[in-house]
Structure 1
Amino acid sequence: MRSTMKYLKPYSLQIGMVVILTLAGIMLELLLPTLMANVVDVGIMNGDMPYIVKTGGWMVISAIAAVLLTVAVSFFASKVALGFGRDVRRSLFVHVENFSLQTFDKIGTASLITRTTNDVKQVQDVLNMMLRMMTRAPLMLVGGIILAVSRDPGLSLIFLGALPILALLIFLISRKAIPLFGALQKKTDRLNLLVRENLTGIRVVRAFNRVGYEKDRFNIANEDFRDTGIKVNKMMALLFPVMIIVMNFTNIAIVWFGAVRIDQGLMQVGNLMAFLQYAMMILFSLIMLSMGFIMIPRAQASVKRINEVLMMEQIIKDPEKTENAVDKYGFVEFQNVTFRYEGAEKPVLTNISFQAKPGETTAVIGSTGAGKSTLVKLIPRFYDVESGAVLIDGVDVRTMSQKALRNKIGYVPQKASLFSGTIAENIQYGKQTAGEDEILKALETAQAIDFVSEKEDGLQSNIDQGGANLSGGQKQRLAIARALVRKPEIYIFDDSFSALDYKTDARLRSALKQETGNSTIIIVAQRVNTVIHADQIIVLNEGTIAGVGTHRELLSENRIYQEIVSSQATEEEGA
């Protein structure tokens, strides 16, 4: 809780204003029953019309001032709550952006979305309510009790029966509600996960006629969420009728015993009217407090989930003292690198050693699951090695700042990721200052210029979320252009040509050779045709290097590479 509440510090002045204005408003509201009692007991009883008009005027002024103060309190409370929500969301987003892929996978995308949106909204709403009601309720409760006791101490003993009942009710409901609110947020995670999976995989769902199955999955999760929500709402629904009953019986008792005291000459009518109003203020304060005690557990569950993310330490972070690579211009070296994913029994990569030199193309090939993609993800430091070292220009990547390291790299992922916006904006993601000529040049090299120029708006054509309005090959070529426009020292193509036909693949590799110049090129590929002209081919087998050499060398000496070539040749013949 403390780590989240620190975001309230910038709003200390506004919170102070809320407390001061609330106190002033309550004092005016507490004054009204006293003024009314004076109108009845002094003005009406004595027939003093000027006194009635004068006191009535003060009542009108006090009521208007109290309303204006309440509006001001609502304004400042909303400003604080919305500002707090904005700051926490921003911190969550920035914190998650710096997560390593390993940390990111721990929580999951759906849960992170829920925590950044729904959970922050829950805390924001409760904070708004607390500033408006929870500061008001205790002040009004204390003020009401003091003034009620000052009016008639004997009649105030009635509260000794009502208050314990209400307190016990609030305690019992809060104790049952806290675990249910936590469960409700987890079920929200589950709903988000199912919706996200269904929307992103809609083509697969329809292709395999699994719409009915997905509906059933969603209905189960949806009904589970509904049932938990009903349990919570039943408790809250029970609270208010019971409180209203207690309030009404309290009123009956006050009127009954108050009438007896008036008959005995121990109390005046105006005093009884004022006492009734103070009693209502006290009981309404308790209702507001009970509302807070019901909502706070839900906020606590959300705060706990937010803190889980904020308190997660960055596994991959910059060292206190960074080193800068200055020589060799993109020289990549793996020295006895071993890596395993968290919780895995055996390493994905074991004792990997090789060099990728500037001006040369290094290809990585192997069967599915051999560790090819994992290997290239170690270069931009998406993961840290378990042992050994990855060096760029002679400097361990763990001693470089992540920004400086990644500025050296143009990375094209295995699954091309595009963002909603225009084609030009997606290419400029690689280099924000890239002009139209640079973008066109990158598109031409990536063999994407033809389909882009055919679009009506050209570079300003819109791309749907995830590139849904493009084919797989078009997405890959735009992702390649995004890396090319950056003109980095090191290009990493993680199986980035898989959706291209052989003709386009060949043209692209030829254009890349001319465009990349002295840069280091590392290509992960499944097809032998993609790597056949590489200066060096690394053959991976079950996380170890099974061979290094040119295509001819490996074809004559390496059994695993021969099997890969043979299997692909057989596939092509069969096709």
Structure 2
Amino acid sequence: MLSTLLKQIKQYTLPSIVTPICMIGEVICEMVIPILMARIVDKGIYGNNMGVIYSTGALMVVIAILGLLAGLGGAYYGSMASTGFAKNLRKAMFDNIQTFSFANIDKFSTSGLVTRLTTDVTNIQNAYMMTLRMAMRAPASLVIAMVAAMMINAKVASIYLVAVIFLSVLMVYIMNKATKYFKQVFEKYDELNESVQENVSAIRVVKAYVREDYEDNKFKKAALNIYNMFVKAEMNIVYISPVMTGTIYICILLVSWVGAHMIVAGSLTTGELMSLLTYCMTILMNLMMLGMIFVMLTMASASGKRIAEVIEEKASITSKPDAIRSVADGSISFEHVDFAYNQTSEEPVLKDINLEIKSGETIGIIGGTGSAKSSLVNLISRLYDVTKGTVKVGGVDVRDYDLEVLRDQVSVVLQKNVLFSGSILDNLRWGDKNATEEECKRACRMACADEFIEKMPEGYNTQIEQGGTNVSGGQRQRLCIARALLKKPKILILDDSTSAVDTSTDAKIRKAFAEEIPGTTKLIIAQRISSVQGCDRIIVMEDGKVNGFGTHEELLQNNDIYREVYESQTGASGDADFDSAS
């Protein structure tokens, strides 16, 4: 984990080195001050020597200024290093997420990734800043102060040593108890983020069903879980402060009592006692600072493991070094294909699929809910890899293609239509960033999206709100189809992508496909037989298997499921659908 995180320091190595050097410089300056104060008291005031007072005082001012500059340098370079480190961590995670296959993404929840990119990185940033500055300053200050105190009077300094050992043992014990709670806190943050995300994205449904109170209670529960975990952790840590404060006062009393007797005995000067008291406060306050650092590092350790999980996650689907970089045509072949989302599943989702689809064919795919229609087409563009068998595009195993090349030639309009904030043109150009406005309009005409775009006040420059909430479901589908067409793919997959448009518009879209992109292989998943009956051939899926494959007329003759659903949808008999028919 540590090596993974430290790799992200990169260009901030120099500030990371300069910061602790500045902090050590500041500590040295601070530790010299008490010695000079003792000199002023013993040789200046008691020696009635104004020259010593002036010269030593001037030296103290110079050293104080140097200490101030060192402190400012530590703060500046520490901020640069920690914020840069956080920036690189976020970028490393986000970049790696972009390489994830669907299988990788399934391992991490959206809310969990958001927590890692925000709360967890902030914890690491604060801990790194604390480490560069305080974690270097506090031990250095403690050691130098202890050595200086020992040099002045070892007997009195031994009081500090006993206190340091006692408090160190106490802090280690308390931190070990608190650590387990901090590790659990961030899992609760995931739950909190998930509650917020679901509520905001589904706010229309929440209001439609008057479930505000339910969502409010759900959020309160998630927030209360975080509160309880932090309370448990803090209840362990809270004992550190009063124990340390009590120890500091006891040390001051003991040093004052022992020191007073030694002054009377003539074995210690007043100036030396003042220096020892200053070092006493320095040692114990820095020990308290170390306690705070331990708390921060404990939280950062839990966050670091979560961040490293994302950065170290290897994409399950990658391109070969010698990957093929061109797709010959849009032919598709499934050869004894099995597929399971989880490799340990007892039963695969797809079972022994064998299909041959010619380039330029229009293929309909129908079947009941859960019949694995979407799973079938997801294998074509390698959104998932087969568990067994081979999927070929253009006569080549899809695993032999460069991923970008393959996915540029296999355009998919998924069931969930996603638009991004920006203009309609910006969204369309996801298909081709260099597309002209005329090319965008042509794609919209094929998808029958021009009908509603031209009625908008700003036309193609109309702004789409986040998630496409200011357009209807049918309009969203047509824009997504137009976006896919701009890629000019060899294979176009429509995964139930016309379910929200009326049958007339659906027919227009299919007609435009036949006339405008005859060379493109088209796979159309639909629930309406009217959407696929004009296809060259139709695949009937049932329980992860191909139940039938042929033309509309052939399936009516020899496929019971297809015939029963066709009759139900055309009013010929009963009220069956795919689920009941299968």
Which whole-Å CA distance do the structure 1 matches of 2:349 and 2:107 have between them? Answer: 18
Shift of 1:571: 9.8
In 2: Cα distance, 1:354 partner to 1:263 partner: 103
Q: What residue in structure 1 maps to residue 540 of structure 2?
A: 539
Instruction: Tell me, in whole angstroms, the C-alpha distance in 2 between the residues paired with 1:572 and 1:526.
Output: 18
Q: Secondary structure at the match of 1:47?
A: coil
Aligned to 2:292: 291
Shift of 1:203: 2.3
Structure 1 window deviating more from structure 2 (561-570 vs 501-510): it is 561-570
Aligned-partner SS, 1:205: helix
Query: CA separation in 2, counterparts of 1:287 and 1:240?
Result: 8
Aligned residue pairs total 574
Partner of 1:475: 476
For 1:367-386, what per-residue CA distance to the aligned partner results, in whole angstroms no more than 9, with x for missing partners? Answer: 11111111010011011001
SS in 1 for 2:107: helix
Equivalence for 2:377: 376
Using the TM superposition, give the Cα deviation of residue 413 of structure 1 relative to its aligned residue in structure 2, in angstroms.
0.5
Q: Which residue of 1 aligns with 2:338?
A: 338
CA gap of 1:86–1:113, structure 2 versus 1, over 3 A, is same
CA contact 1:325–1:392 (8 Å) conserved in 2:
no
> How far has the Cα of 1:223 moved from its partner?
1.1
CA distance in 2, matches of 1:359, 1:136: 71
**Deviation string for 1:318-352 (max 9, x for gaps)?**
1232134453x222211121111204321111111
Instruction: Report Cα offsets for 1:90-121 as digits up to 9, x if no partner.
Output: 11111122122122112211111111221111
Within 2, Cα distance between the matches of 1:572 and 1:114? 54
Return 562-571 or 447-456, whichever deviates more.
Answer: 562-571
Aligned amino acid, residue 149 of structure 1: M
Deviations along 1:293-322, one digit per CA (max 9) or x if unpaired, are 111111111111112222323211112321
Separation in 1, partners of 2:9, 2:255: 42
The Cα shift of 1:235 comes to: 3.0
The separation in 2 between residues aligned to 1:31 and 1:325, in whole angstroms, is 72
Q: C-alpha separation between the residues in 1 aligned to 2:521 and 2:372? A: 20
Whole-angstrom distance in 1 between the partners of 2:211 and 2:460: 37
Q: Is the 8 A contact 1:381 1:397 kept in 2?
A: yes
Give the whole-Å Cα distance in 1 for the aligned partners of 2:99 and 2:405.
Answer: 15
Query: How do residues 495-514 of structure 1 correspond to structure 2 at under 5 angstroms?
Result: 495-514=496-515
Amino acid at match of 1:220: K
SS class of match (2:106): helix
One-letter amino acid of the structure 2 residue matched with residue 447 of structure 1: C
Distance in 1, Cα, partners of 2:572 & 2:60: 93
Q: Could you tell me which residue of structure 2 aligns to residue 224 of structure 1? A: 225
- Name the SS of the counterpart of 1:522 in structure 2: strand
SS of residue matched to 2:210: coil
Please say if residues 183 and 302 of structure 2, whose CA atoms lie closer than 8 Å, have aligned partners that are also in contact: yes
Distance, in Å, in 2 between the alignment partners of 1:266 and 1:400 is: 85
Aligned to 1:322: 323
Distance 1:521 1:186 in 2: 44
- Provide Cα deviations, 1:36-92, integer angstroms capped at 9, x if missing partner: 111111111122222212211111121121111111101111111111111111111
Q: Are the aligned partners of 1:37 and 1:270 in contact in 2 as well (CA < 8 Å)?
A: yes
Q: Tell whether the 8 Å contact from 1:324 to 1:395 is kept in structure 2 after alignment.
A: no
**1:431-510 to 2 correspondences below 5 Å:** 431-510=432-511
Maintained 8 Å contact 2:331/2:360: no
Instruction: Name the CA distance, whole Å, in 1 between partners of 2:238 and 2:226.
Output: 18
- Partner of 1:313: helix, strand, or coil? coil
Shift of 1:573: 9.7
SS of the residue 1:379 aligns to? coil
**2:355 partner SS:** strand
Partner of 1:183: 184
Q: Report if the CA contact (8 A) 1:365-1:526 is conserved.
A: yes
Q: Is the 8 A contact 1:81 1:125 kept in 2?
A: yes
Write the distance in 1 (CA, Å) between the matches of 2:196 and 2:20.
43
5+ residue gaps, structure 1, are: none
Contact conserved, 1:325 with 1:393, CA < 8 A, in 2?
Answer: no
Shift of 1:429: 0.9
Q: Distance in 2 between matches of 1:321 and 1:533?
A: 40
Provide the residue aligned with 2:157 in structure 1: 156
- Taking a change above 3 Å as real, the CA distance of residues 377 and 572 of structure 1, as seen in their structure-2 partners, is farther
Stretch of structure 1 that moved more, 239-248 or 391-400: 239-248
Deviation of 1:406 (Å):
0.6
Aligned-pair distance for 1:450? 2.3
Aligned to 1:209: 210
Distance 1:8 1:235 in 2: 33
What SS does structure 2 have at the residue aligned with 1:133? helix
Q: Does 1:26 align with 2:42?
A: no
TM-score by length of 2: 0.95
Indicate if the aligned counterparts of 1:426 and 1:482 stay in contact, CA closer than 8 A.
Answer: yes
Residue 489 to residue 513, structure 1, CA distance change in 2 (3 Å): same
Rounded Cα–Cα distance in structure 1 between residues aligned with 2:325 and 2:312: 30
Asked whether the equivalents of residues 247 and 283 of structure 1 are also in contact (C-alpha less than 8 Å), the reply is yes
Secondary structure of the equivalent of 1:547?
strand
One-letter identity of the residue aligned with 2:214: Y
State the shift of 1:233 in Å.
2.5
Q: For 2:464 and 2:219, how far apart are their aligned partners in 1?
A: 29
Q: Which amino acid aligns with 1:209?
A: V
1:257 alignment partner in structure 2: 258
Q: How does 1:354-365 map to 2 (within 5 A)?
A: 354-365=355-366
Q: TM-score, normalised by structure 1?
A: 0.97
Aligned counterpart, 1:392: 393
| SS of match in other structure, 1:168 | helix
Q: Determine the structure 2 residue equivalent to 1:43.
A: 44
Q: 1:11 to 1:422 in 2, by over 3 A?
A: same
1:212 positional shift: 2.2
Q: Structure 2: how far apart are the matches of 1:54 and 1:454?
A: 85
Q: 1:326 to 1:96 in 2, by over 3 A?
A: closer
Distance 1:183 1:438 in 2: 53
Mapped contact 1:325–1:394 kept (Cα < 8 A): no
What is aligned with 2:66?
65
Does residue 520 of structure 2 align to residue 519 of structure 1? yes
Asked if 2 retains the 8 angstrom alpha-carbon contact of 1:362 and 1:537, the reply is: yes
Aligned equivalent of 1:411:
412
- Measure the CA separation in 2 of the matches of 1:314 and 1:99: 5
Deviation string for 1:491-529 (max 9, x for gaps)?
111110000011111111111222223111111111111
Q: Give the whole-Å Cα distance in 2 for the aligned partners of 1:460 and 1:129.
A: 48
One-letter code aligned to 2:330: G
Output the amino acid matched with 2:429: Q
Q: Is the 8 A contact 2:175 2:237 kept in 1?
A: no
Report SS of the residue matched to 1:346.
coil
CA contact (8 A) 2:206 2:212 kept: yes
Deviation for aligned residue 1:217 = 2.0
User: Is 2:15 the counterpart of 1:14?
Assistant: yes
Structure 1 match to 2:137: 136
**In structure 2, what residue type is equivalent to 1:13?**
L
